[in-house]
Structure 1
Amino acid sequence: MELVSVVIPAFNAQRFLGRTLASALAQTYKNIEVLVIDDGSTDDTRSIIEEFAASDERVSSIRTQNRGVALARNLGIQNARGSYIAFLDADDLWHPTKIERQVEAIDVHRSDASWAGVYTFHRTIDESDQFTGNGQTVRGCSGYILARNFVLKFIGNGSNLLVRRDAALAVGGFDPSYAAEGIGGCEDLDFELRLAARYRIEAVRLFLVGYRVYKGNMSSDGSRMARSMSETIARHAKLNHSIPLRAKRWAVANAHRYAFQVLLRERKIIPALAAYGMLTLSDPVASILTAAEVLAAFRKRLTKARSVASSQAFMSMDPRAGADNPVEAIVRTKLSRLAKDDLVLEQQAHSVAFTKGARDRPETNCVS
């Protein structure tokens, strides 16, 4: 049974760290080490780590000056003893079977070094661990997924991926330059894209991550996240010259769509309208659908419509529920085209030995 190193970057994480650590230690896959990188915390983060470490020898920590999440994760990668690394943000939760299912999925490809990692689906949760929504709009794709993840970004967050340690090192770990430029937030997407450009990635099509969204966490700063998303897409559009212009246009459009949504939520109307204008230029169809979504949400608020569903705790939910939800027609169309792009990109990026049989695989590797 391979050792899995769980790397948790933590900065002033006292509010949720206890729950996060408990979910990591409750994994049905027991051969883990939990390495918490205390990134210069000034609150009670340190004492929480020490309390868990005193009761479970699998927990250890490294304390550093505050240098940002990318460098904290890199320090975890460098000090990890496991052949697999699973990243977990200090405010998120894992379903108890997450690591077990991911190891099972990646072990199928143990003899093939072209497979580097495996991701799952996620649900969004609030401050009380209650379910607020499903994070995926696609069913999950596996294999060489560079173009598909570049456009649709379905891996989704920094608590999702389990990756071979040697692959994480081979792609250079996480890039600290985003934080240095004041646009930190999408370092996980940047890492995923560099991984996807070089390796194949597997999917476990179950909702096994609780991704916390609340006022005050990194992802709640919409303006900075929008800038980070746009910069990440721009950098990888330049790095990956072979990605078709159509896919690059779709990726840019999705970045503008995200910026429009978060800026509108923050009531920054003029920047939001500017982002919507760029979305319209990049992808007119997506702009129409986005406008329809905004209007529908506005009508719901006017009528004070509320969901009749009772509140559910993330941990009590069946991880299979919602995995078979229908995929939007426009997303389905894009997936089909992007899957063909990925077959071409894979053949261009790797040797004949790596891509042998690629043409014989199903066109999309996606559950539809």
Structure 2
Amino acid sequence: MGPSISVIIPVYNKEEYVARTLHSVLDQTPPNLEILIVDDASTDRSLERVAEFDDPRIRVLRRDTPGPGGYAARNLGIRQATGEWIAFLDADDCWRPDHLENALDMAEQNPEVPIISAARLDQFGSQQRLDPFSQHFIAHGPQRLYLADYIKQARQGRRAMQTNTLLIRRAALFSHELFPEGRTARSGDLYAWITLLARLKVMVWSPHIAATSYRDVIGVSRTSTPTIQLFQEMVEELAPHVSRDEHALVRGAANQLIKYAWIEKKKKRMALPLFGLPSAFFWKGHVRYCLKWSLISMVPITLLEAVHRRFLAK
């Protein structure tokens, strides 16, 4: 039957979309699936939609309290998973029918690699486009990436790992708490991917299109903000697991994520200390970046937004 795969789908008030998501999983070619629906204390009819599927591979897990970002739900799924591989899918997105078959083929060609990723289509209304990493690399075939490669691409807006496209070898996981539950309401996946590759060392990206992500669906991630402290803690947590040069890259990645978190908070008009951004940065080895954004942080957000709108108009 081939390797077994545990598919983890966190569900919070997705009655309009979860059937489409489940159909895309059940349409996969590999039959040896365990489908873990993790209900994150939904208040709509999501579980009624799930109950319409009469398939013994589907198992429902329940949480009493919703967790922002689905991080706690995914971690619960990891703890309950029994498959050789673990995959994730958001309850409002869907897979291409040949995704798992292609991903397992790539895993078979790279038996020592614990992480397989792939391309993603982002859909905005009727418009579709490849994610930035795929736009850049899909014509060049499979890509083997180490931590340094991933961070260098991610800092240019090209992330080779995305929730809906990953397969992770379960035996390689170092913790059942891959996602930072209780530590942030948003962007915890960005923390998780850097942590994952820092610990597992290598991944392979496959040039097949794995999933469609519907970017016009409003969820928690659109209404909340990332936590600056999470990315500061990431630097300390990974220090024992990476080389000195890799740790410098992790600090640079953390600075970019800290800046991103600060901008998101300012856009929502949250009150922040005047020198909050400079004091949050890791300056060693990144003085120019930290100085530039420290100076920008002193500019009123309304002026920054006006400049941004003018730039886009051109």
TM-score, structure 1 normalization: 0.64
Q: Which residue number corresponds to residue 109 of structure 1?
A: 110
Structure 1 position 22 matched with structure 2 position 29: no
Match of 2:160 among 155, 166, 186: 155
What code does the residue aligned with 1:298 have? R
Q: Which residue number corresponds to residue 183 of structure 1?
A: 184
What code does the residue aligned with 1:65 have? D
Once residues 215 and 119 of structure 2 are traced to their aligned partners in structure 1, the CA distance between those partners, rounded to angstroms, is: 16
Once residues 255 and 5 of structure 2 are traced to their aligned partners in structure 1, the CA distance between those partners, rounded to angstroms, is: 37
Once residues 220 and 284 of structure 1 are traced to their aligned partners in structure 2, the CA distance between those partners, rounded to angstroms, is: 31
Matches within 5 A, 1:102-141: 102-110=103-111, 112=112, 115-126=113-124, 128=125, 130-131=127-128, 134-136=131-133, 139=137
What code does the residue aligned with 1:208 have? A
Q: Which residue number corresponds to residue 75 of structure 1?
A: 76
Matches within 5 A, 1:216-365: 216-221=218-223, 223=225, 225-227=226-228, 230-231=231-232, 233-240=234-241, 242-244=243-245, 246-259=248-261, 262-263=264-265, 265-266=267-268, 275=277, 282=286, 284=288, 298-299=309-310, 303=313
Structure 1 position 66 matched with structure 2 position 77: no
Q: Do 2:278 and 2:290's aligned partners in 1 also have CA atoms closer than 8 Å?
A: no
Deviations 1:24-66 (A, max 9, x none): 22224343232211122221111011012x2x34322122322
| Structure 1: gaps spanning 5 or more residues | 306-368
Q: Secondary structure at the match of 1:148?
A: helix
Once residues 239 and 214 of structure 1 are traced to their aligned partners in structure 2, the CA distance between those partners, rounded to angstroms, is: 40
Deviations 1:286-335 (A, max 9, x none): 9989x9x988962365x5x8xxxxxxxxxxxxxxxxxxxxxxxxxxxxxx
Q: For residues 300 and 96 of structure 1, do their structure 2 counterparts lie closer, same or farther at Cα, with a shift above 3 Å needed? A: farther
CA deviation after TM superposition for structure 1 residue 233, in Å: 3.9
Q: For residues 159 and 99 of structure 1, do their structure 2 counterparts lie closer, same or farther at Cα, with a shift above 3 Å needed? A: same
Q: Percent identity?
A: 22
What code does the residue aligned with 1:39 have? D
Q: Do 2:117 and 2:162's aligned partners in 1 also have CA atoms closer than 8 Å?
A: no
CA deviation after TM superposition for structure 1 residue 253, in Å: 3.1
What code does the residue aligned with 1:124 have? D
CA deviation after TM superposition for structure 1 residue 243, in Å: 3.9
Q: Do 1:250 and 1:283's aligned partners in 2 also have CA atoms closer than 8 Å?
A: no
Once residues 271 and 142 of structure 1 are traced to their aligned partners in structure 2, the CA distance between those partners, rounded to angstroms, is: 42
Once residues 215 and 88 of structure 1 are traced to their aligned partners in structure 2, the CA distance between those partners, rounded to angstroms, is: 15
Q: Which residue number corresponds to residue 98 of structure 1?
A: 99
CA deviation after TM superposition for structure 1 residue 204, in Å: 0.7
Q: For residues 283 and 212 of structure 1, do their structure 2 counterparts lie closer, same or farther at Cα, with a shift above 3 Å needed? A: farther
Q: For residues 142 and 2 of structure 1, do their structure 2 counterparts lie closer, same or farther at Cα, with a shift above 3 Å needed? A: same
Q: Do 2:72 and 2:181's aligned partners in 1 also have CA atoms closer than 8 Å?
A: no
Structure 1 position 167 matched with structure 2 position 172: yes
Q: For residues 38 and 142 of structure 1, do their structure 2 counterparts lie closer, same or farther at Cα, with a shift above 3 Å needed? A: same
CA deviation after TM superposition for structure 1 residue 104, in Å: 0.6
TM-score, structure 2 normalization: 0.73
What code does the residue aligned with 2:162 have? N
Q: Secondary structure at the match of 1:66?
A: coil
Q: For residues 222 and 174 of structure 1, do their structure 2 counterparts lie closer, same or farther at Cα, with a shift above 3 Å needed? A: same
Once residues 130 and 262 of structure 2 are traced to their aligned partners in structure 1, the CA distance between those partners, rounded to angstroms, is: 20
Once residues 108 and 233 of structure 1 are traced to their aligned partners in structure 2, the CA distance between those partners, rounded to angstroms, is: 32
Deviations 1:193-215 (A, max 9, x none): 34322342111124422234347
Q: Secondary structure at the match of 1:179?
A: coil
CA deviation after TM superposition for structure 1 residue 254, in Å: 1.9
Q: For residues 73 and 216 of structure 1, do their structure 2 counterparts lie closer, same or farther at Cα, with a shift above 3 Å needed? A: same
Structure 1 position 51 matched with structure 2 position 52: yes
